[in-house]
Chains A and B, each alone.
Chain A
Amino acid sequence: MDPARPLGRPQIDVVAQLGVSTILLGGIYALIAVGLTLIFGIMRVVNFAHGEFLMLGMYLAFWAYTLLALDPWFVLFVSIPLFFGLGLVTYVLIMRGIIHASHNVQIFTTVGLSIALQNLALVLWSGDFHTVRPWHAGAPIRVAGTAFNLSQVVAFFIAIALTVALFAFMRWTHTGRVMRATAQDRDAAILMGIDTDRVYRITFALGIAAVGAAGVLVSPLYAIYPQAGLQFVLLSYVVVVLGGLGDMVGALIGSLIVAAVEVAGSYWFGTAWKEIFYFLLFIAVLVFRPAGLFGQRGAETLGA
């Protein structure tokens, strides 16, 4: 929208389109961030390999589509138990050993895992870019001067559903309560007879299942290649910090804020500015509200 021009139909359409783009892009970011915030919030582990599990989810969708002609929407149902299992295995083999170690050790280990997974993908499937093109990826929907893509709309609604489901699970189930208790005070939780190892195992597996599902859902929208995860992972840290560690609804709102900053910044100032804007926001939040915009004060130091 050109501020010098009077507000007319084309300008309203532009604002509407930017709004729709923000919401849909925010949905994708939320989908990716929700698993990260879960692991971050409960286990206090920064999982730098998060993006690589996203990449593996994208490859799962690609191979299922290429070899078996399965639509990613169908693969979604298979991916959740599959990535839950992958999360369990990763926890038992790698994460369990470092859960009590210092943050430095955890960072080195997960960065190492990230690079190992990227290169594994490179060896197995080469560095070529792949794409999944189910019918819904090429189906633009036009409503009142705005246009968007069916795959993106579905990804958005699943992001909402996943956030709500995880929120409800954490709030109202026994396991959820146990998980929150462990996050708040690990030692007290052990004294109360909580099996913290089991809590961490389930948390990690749930987080990986969520990001695996995200990978499957974004596969029709973005190119699939070994470094595909890097495109989103830095961003999901911003989202998680903005929303407050471990806060599902905060992650959703944080995603929408990041997307809004990105879309509006790109439109009015140029795309080159978008990262400057949201990282300034990131730093501002860390300085002024370290628990995140919606997190409880002091939450960032819990369980440390």
Chain B
Amino acid sequence: MLRRLSVAVTVAVMVATTGWLVAHGQTGEYKIGVLEPLTGPLAGEGKRHLEGYEIVRDMINARGGVMGKKLVFAVADAPDPTAAASEANRLITRESVKIITGTFSSRLCGAASEAAARHNVIYWETSCVDPRFNKRGLKNVFRTEIDATGFGWYNIEFIVKHLAPRFNLKPNQLKIAFISEDSSYGQGVTESALARAKELGLQVVAPVEYYNFQTINDMTPIIVKLKQLNPDVVHHIAYTNDAPLFWRQAREQNFLFKALVHAGATGYGGSDFGKATGKDGNGVFALLEPGPGFRLEALRPEGQKIEKEFRDAVQKRTGSYPFGAHQLAGGGLWLLKVVLDRAQSDDLDKFRSAVMSLDLPVGSMINGWGVKFSEDGQNSNERVQHYMLQWQNGQLVTVWPEEFTTNRAKWIPLGPWDARK
């Protein structure tokens, strides 16, 4: 009797456990490689990017993980391209990962994905914007974020469609100057914006002023030169400390232009710019993922739900609205889950056909993104909706396209430095 009872109890426990496991869908772990610059000059953004991954990883695991397993990370530090390549190799050979994601920076994604390609491992890039990334004929690389060409395109759209009418200028009357740090990111965005500006007949006042963000100590010579050329718009792609340096010195020199436009989560698009300048940073534009003021109602129902959950999770962990690095990582990792749900495999061919078969409209996902990949592994400009944000009293808020936001762009044109309150 006792024996029978114990068998029955054991069976019952087993059934219950299996039931629980089936309900939660998690039997074992599924490990992916995560490459981030966690030391070196990009460490600040790299850590924030990793934080975005971790938040979405927990959201994914709360829903049953990927392919029935709990999603876990093998994290590696990639401060420079050499480390990115060697760490990618290590993740593949030692940690046996079949998917690598990362890397925040355009300096890193090329080298890391090249290494992954040699092992036929899936490389899922969520934030680098180097246009060359998926122009190399590699079948294993995918990118969820738009490339720099897209950034430049969006910036000129904003300048021509939104700023020019508010300055009472026709596009061909608008004078624009380009300044940029000289990494592939800065060059990619700047060259595409420049080409688009010329196409639309804007007056480009000087050749692009490129500089190295790690060694620039004085922007005054650039400012003095541009001041004489009197541009309406300054298109400045900055990386880190070069943004507050330019802004402080432009103010010192009383360089009066009508607007400054940047793109990306670095430089003017990073939280550090707000901390460095406070209200003095008022008026600067940065093309980014959505910020405060973003209307959830403008998204599709499924997009609203996941976006809200993501924002709340970031708020809970960091005490603030998601930053660009969180959003790129979060949006990208969520999309990876959607692909794995469909492919149910990390075999490159099956994974690839799942990616190509996805067709989701704008507003379906985190950041209001949609999905439609091209054959070279790039999610399309039109689906990866981008937004213009503006620094308003120490906060970056969404101001354009206007149907997506409750905020409106201010200080157009910028006016005197001391009058931007």
Contact = CB atoms under 8 A, between A and B. Distances in A.
Interface stretch (B116-124, B221-229, B285-293): B221-229
Interface in B178-219: 182, 207, 209-212, 214-218
A138 interface: yes
Interface residues of A, number: 46
Contacts of B241: 129, 222-223, 225, 228, 231
B251 A122 contact: no
Nearest to A270: B209
Given A2-B228, A223-B244, A131 B276 contact: yes
A127 B45 CA distance: 8
A128 B272 contact: yes
Given A122-B39, A126-B44, A223-B241, A17 B217 contact: no
A174 B221 CA distance: 45
A18 B44 CA distance: 34
Contacts of A272: 182, 210-212
A130 interface: yes
- Counting chain A CB atoms within 10 Å of each CB, the highest count among B217, B225, B253, B280 belongs to B217
Interface in B209-260: 209-212, 214-218, 220-222, 224-225, 228, 240-241, 244-245, 248, 251-254
Contact of A17 (B41, B220, B280): B220
A271 interface: yes
B43 A127 contact: yes
Contacts, number: 119
A1 B71 CA distance: 60
B216 A271 contact: yes
Given A147-B253, A227-B41, A267 B221 contact: yes
Given A17-B224, A126-B43, 13 more contacts: A25-B217, A119-B39, A147-B252, A148-B252, A223-B240, A227-B214, A230-B41, A230-B214, A231-B217, A262-B218, A263-B220, A267-B225, A272-B211
27 contacts: A2-B228, A18-B220, A18-B221, A18-B224, A119-B39, A122-B39, A126-B44, A127-B41, A127-B44, A127-B46, A129-B270, A129-B272, A130-B272, A137-B248, A222-B241, A223-B245, A223-B272, A225-B41, A225-B240, A226-B43, A227-B40, A230-B214, A231-B217, A235-B217, A263-B218, A263-B220, A266-B221
Interface of B: 39-47, 182, 207, 209-212, 214-218, 220-222, 224-225, 228, 240-241, 244-245, 248, 251-254, 270, 272, 275-276, 278, 280
